[in-house]
Amino acid sequence: MSQLELREAASPPLTITDAARQAPDAVLAALGSGPDGLSQAAAVERLDAVGPNAVRTHEASAWSVLARQFRSPILILLLITAGLSLFLGDATNSLVIGVILLVSVGLGFSNEFRAERAAEALHSRVTHTAVVVREGAAAELDVTALVPGDVVRLGLGAIIPADLRLLAAKDLLCDESILTGESLPVAKTPAPVTEKASLGDLTSCLFMGTVIQSGSCTGVVVATGGRAEFGRIALGLGERQPQTEFQLGLKRFSFLLLQVAIGLTTLIFAANLLLQRPVIESLLFSLAIAVGITPQLLPAVVSTSLATGTRQLARRRVLVKRLVCIEDLGDMDILVTDKTGTLTEGRITFTAALPVAAGPDPGELFTLGLLATEADYTAAKASVIGQNPLDAALWESPQAAGFTPAGHERLDIIGFDHLRRRTSVLVRDGAGTPRIITKGSPEDVLALCGPVTAEVQALLDAQFDAGSRVVAVAAREAPGLADLTPADETGLRLAGFLVFLDPPKANARESLDRLEALGITVKIATGDNAKVAERVCDELGVLSGGTITGAEAEAMSDPELSAAAREASIFARVSPEQKARIIRLLRQSGGAVGFMGDGVNDALALHQADIGISVDSATDVAKDAADVVLLDKDLGVLADGVMEGRRIFANTIKYVLMGTSSNFGNMFSAATASVVLSFLPMLPGQILLNNLLYDTGQLAIPGDRVDREQLLAPAHWNIGFIRRFMFLFGPISSLFDFATFGLMLFVFNAAPGEFRAGWFIESIATQTLIIFAIRTRRVPFLRSRPSMGLLGASLGVVALGIFLPLSPLAGLLGFDPLPVPFFLALLGMTVVYLVLVELAKQWFFARTAQQPPAPVLPRVRRRGRDHRMARRAARFSTPGAARRGPLEPRRGRANRRKRNRVQGPSRPRKP
């Protein structure tokens, strides 16, 4: 055993409750750490002992993927039917169903597992880091590498990476709603708490998964992974996630099939009993009809489509956290986005310091800006890690090279928050008088400086009109002041403006055109001044529908803002709460809204959106809240993702429409013939073999071409549309089935074996070839070409369907040889059938009922606490196989399964 393990074995680990009651120095001592953090050697030793700071693993699990294949109601129906067939002595029927099961499960498993492996690789590229002090040096470290005793520095918007005991804090407020449900933030200080404080009253501690709403702090890690309070709760939730619109649509479709199957099966079984047919034969035939009416390989087609989409998006550097979110991406028709990095380059550069009259010179104004940064100005020049983009641009500018921190002493600071929109510091130069320096948005800083002269306003307006980002700087002397509070931010004198430039992207116009062609309305939500946002839009040639400022939005009621938001293109100077409100109202007005953001102030809106989109370079808060992460911040990449989502949905619906209409027609024909004929028109095994061949040919659909018009607008599950399609094209199929019945009975005087062989071949030919008519609303082949894969698969299935009744297996399958004239008649009937289907298709899609309905009811996506817990837990995830830390107490097998492959030990129970 290592020394650490011996110490742990001798005394139980320090709990967060115990740490809250002790002084910071005592906690550091108990954890074997200090103000300079751990040594690298000690950190490595502890990581090996306690395991990664993780409550999830994004490793693709073959067993989990295999288990998911059997959750489909269609496959469950197949499994039950196979069992009943075997029990009732029909080995052939059971064998055919078993083959169908193996094909469906095998294809679904292979494609979904490949997709999860791709998602695993992409997930590993999205890192979540924290600033950790080790051996006295600060560096960014992956949150999963944190161990007890690590000293961590955190600022505004950071998600707490582990359970921490505060060592130092400044104006610290923490949002603990994910743990406690309380919406109001909690004030935190390093002072020890009383002996009997409850978990919610541990004001000297920060909890894993909670968010810093304002201020900054330094803390020492007390508990990680499953030992942390958040980790313990997250483990109990498992991997549950809310269902997406696509999943809900699949569920509604399954219920439709279930209703049709039950109704048709019951009628057939009752009719056969009334005709005094054998009970077992009637039951097997009825079960075959129930199975035959369902598109058995729908799960495989869906998983194949999603796997194909995942691979396509991976090539475009897009990470989809859950495969089914690809469908939601294609569903989007409104995109709200920040302009920085999407419409602009996202590389902010400092351009000028503009003093006002009687103010300091440009060099002094620049120095004031450096002193008013949240980062420690004595070290900020060496590293801009953790700084906001504007402060980082100041420190990276050439002028910063001449700054000497030794001549300044910072006494206090009030950090930036999105309500005040400014940072204030109390600074003393040498032995001089302390002074307050405030830096922030011009509107908020000018409000603290008294009346604004026309000259100052003209100077500011000129910069806004030029599209520049502007930060105002103001100061005043504060003799005798040692601690700074917001109440001290009065009586300031404006020093001038710091000007920054973020030019428009060269390809932004092209990306906007692509989104517009896809029917997506792009709106901009920014914390910048309205004139700056409007200038960027003008430079890109974007026609604006109007601008709403945060102040104007605040004054509007929900109905007023909802109506205005549908028309407006720009939302300027909006707070995080206002962004979230705008997203919510846009959704409630009927749109499927996507939100793209990368900052702390975007997290609320990302949670409100139908599809949250962020980027790899975003803050942890934004990445955690997003459904999709772009590894490149580019609207063009987003357009690719939207097209991929719509392509997948279009191909999935192709299979659904073809499968349900053809299967319904065939099963209706079989049901009718079983009542009229003195023998079964097709044996149960033959029905299932027919469906297996047909469905196997349709597995090429996920790779099929999609007509461009199908990508220009989002499509949704429409059960009424599917039902109408099924009830029109199914009976058309039955008409030709009945024609085949007449041909076999009255022309060829066919025996049962010949009858079944003739209908088997006609059924395979018609329902397989109809794919080329139904796959497009255009004229097939002439104006819409199928993929070579689909063409080859379909013709191959028809050839195999014709071969089987003529092959040596014919007797085993229950088929008799057919006369040659039958095939000539079959060719003629197939041509007439395809022409009639094409005419019916043109009539069907021309009707008003088939046009996409305008959204009437709001489609509000409700997300509860469990969803937010599962989402936030995803950041504490490692790609490797799960393992149990050496210090973890042994547990039962069932309990280990419940812990969901935790990496690292669980938090021990308190005595």
What is the set of active-site residues?
338
- The rounded distance, in Å, linking the Cα atoms of 674 and 689 is 18
If you ran DSSP here, which 8-state letter would residue 54 be given?
Answer: B
If you ran DSSP here, which 8-state letter would residue 784 be given?
Answer: B
Q: Which helix (H) or strand (E) holds 457?
A: helix 454-465
CB 798, CB 791: distance < 8 Å: no
Q: How many residues does the chain have?
A: 911
| Structure tokens, 461 | 């307006």
Residues 6+ away with beta carbon under 8 Å from 71:
none
Q: Tell me if residue 539 falls in helix, strand or coil.
A: helix
- Residue 727 burial class via C-beta count within 10 angstroms: exposed 0-12, middle 13-18, buried 19 and up: middle
- The rounded distance, in Å, linking the Cα atoms of 522 and 536 is 14
Residue ranges with strand state E in 441-528: 469-477, 493-501, 521-526
CB 190, CB 236: distance < 8 Å: no
- The rounded distance, in Å, linking the Cα atoms of 248 and 229 is 33
The backbone region for 797, taken as left when phi is positive above 0, alpha when psi lies in -120 to 50, beta otherwise, is: alpha
Distance between alpha carbon 262 and the CA centroid of its chain, in Å? 36
The sign of the CA dihedral 200, 206, 211, 213 is positive
Torsion of CA 168, 174, 176, 177, to 10 degrees: 180
In this structure, are strands 547-549 and 570-572 parallel, antiparallel, or unpaired? Answer: parallel
- The rounded distance, in Å, linking the Cα atoms of 902 and 239 is 12
Q: Which residue's structure tokens are 């196979």?
A: 82
HSE toward the beta carbon, residue 285, CA cutoff 13 A: 26
Provide the β-strand partners of residue 408. Answer: 429
Q: Which residue's structure tokens are 């709460």?
A: 577
**Sequence letter at residue 743:** L
Q: Tell me if residue 186 falls in helix, strand or coil.
A: strand
- The rounded distance, in Å, linking the Cα atoms of 282 and 184 is 66
Closest by CA to 717, choosing from 262, 87, 248, is 248
| Structure tokens, 63 | 């067993």
| Structure tokens, 550 | 């945060």
| Structure tokens, 147 | 């161990």
Q: Which residue's structure tokens are 């300044």?
A: 408
CB 53, CB 904: distance < 8 Å: yes
CB 716, CB 652: distance < 8 Å: no
Distance between alpha carbon 237 and the CA centroid of its chain, in Å? 19
